[in-house]
Amino acid sequence: MHLSGLEPLVLNENSNFINVGERTNVAGSRKFLRLIKEERFDEALDIARHQVDGGAQIIDINFDDGLIDGKEAMVRFLNLIAAEPDICRVPIMIDSSKWEIIEAGLQVVQGKCVVNSISLKEGEDKFIWEAKQIKRYGAAVIVMAFDEVGQADNYERRIEIAKRSYKILVDIVHFPSEDIIFDLNIFPVATGM
């Protein structure tokens, strides 16, 4: 997998653990959420900078909060990041449960990013449509282990959903297999959530 900000990030079978900075996610940092709500974007940029300085190889950006215009915040923040070489040198993970926010991010992000995430939760048609859009923008994708029945809650279901998703992405959408990441819900299943 090849991702990029200003600098390339090449992942292969010899790659070790990849550090994803989650502090520029309104669900991952109360401070970040407060700064965004108060429109203190310059201070919010410092959080992104601190993550990169601390070793984050990808930074996850999410504005899914009912009190925030997520689409506007995503565009504004990504444009600010693009002007900061010490931050935008790493790839971005555009993280949202709302397609309009993801697409707004894809339209302005520089380099090759990762979209977090799509799933079969709302059926194959929507999954295929979103995957085609992500492919058109040249991004990689995270696929969650959900389908029309619900979250994969055991090994067999995780494998079943991953195989089905992979087959659709590769055989129907012609998505590059090296640009697919699976999130198999190990943490939620292990914690009983």
Predicted pLDDT of residue 150: 92
Percent of the chain whose pLDDT exceeds 70? 96
The tens digit of pLDDT for each residue in 103-162 reads: 999 999 999 999 999 999 999 999 999 999 999 999 999 999 999 999 998 899 999 999
Q: Do both 123 and 163 map to the same domain? A: yes
Predicted pLDDT of residue 183: 93
DSSP letters, 25-85, are: ETTT-HHHHHHHHTT-HHHHHHHHHHHHHTT-SEEEEE---TTS-HHHHHHHHHHHHHT-H
Q: Which of 35, 68, 97 is the last residue of a domain?
A: 97
Residue 104 counted as domain residue: no
When divided into structural domains, the chain yields a total of 2
Query: What CA–CA distance (Å, rounded) separates 84 from 193?
Result: 38
The tens digit of pLDDT for each residue in 73-98 reads: 999 999 999 999 999 999 999 999 99
Query: What CA–CA distance (Å, rounded) separates 13 from 56?
Result: 19
Residue 70 counted as domain residue: yes
Q: Do both 92 and 127 map to the same domain? A: no
Whole-prediction pTM value? 0.93
Q: Do both 84 and 138 map to the same domain? A: no
For residue 192, name the pLDDT band (cuts at 50, 70, 90). low
Predicted pLDDT of residue 182: 96
> For the chain, first and last CA: distance in Å?
31
Tell which residue, 110, 119, 128, has the closest CA to residue 168.
128
Query: How many C-beta atoms surround the C-beta of residue 82 within 10 A?
Result: 17
Query: What CA–CA distance (Å, rounded) separates 100 from 151?
Result: 23
Q: Which of 97, 127, 150 is the last residue of a domain?
A: 97
Q: Which residue range forms the structural domain that includes residue 170? A: 113-193
The tens digit of pLDDT for each residue in 3-41 reads: 999 999 999 999 999 999 999 999 989 999 999 999 999
